[in-house]
Amino acid sequence: MSIKDLQEFDATIFFQDFGGPVTYEGSAITAVFEFGENRAAGNTFVNDGQAARASLWVSTVDVPEWREQDKVVIDGVTWRVAREIERSPGLVCLEITGRQSAW
């Protein structure tokens, strides 16, 4: 088994053990969602208001190319992709924002 095969196997186990259903740009995928700050200052795109922040681990097979503002729906709550936090073979971690407020 090659290193690439091991990394792909690890990613599969990661999503099986910790993943849940997510809708990413209209497609149902399995991803790992981690809450971050709730009601942090700014909303990632501008300095005004507040927004919740979270991390979303996705497979590069499911999301080969992400874009800022991609729509993610988790448990009926809409989030938007802000930026890439980390990348490893077969996985990418994205910062997402949601529950935005002008106040």
First to last CA, the chain: 53
Q: What is the pLDDT of residue 28?
A: 97
Mean pLDDT of the chain: 82
Strands in 1-103 per DSSP E:
20-24, 27-35, 40-41, 50-59, 71-74, 77-88, 91-101
- Whole-model pTM: value is 0.79
Q: What is the pLDDT of residue 35?
A: 84
Q: What is the pLDDT of residue 36?
A: 78
Spell out the domain ranges in the chain. Answer: 3-101
pLDDT digits (tens, 9 = 90+) for 26-65: 999 999 999 877 665 555 555 556 678 899 999 998 999 9
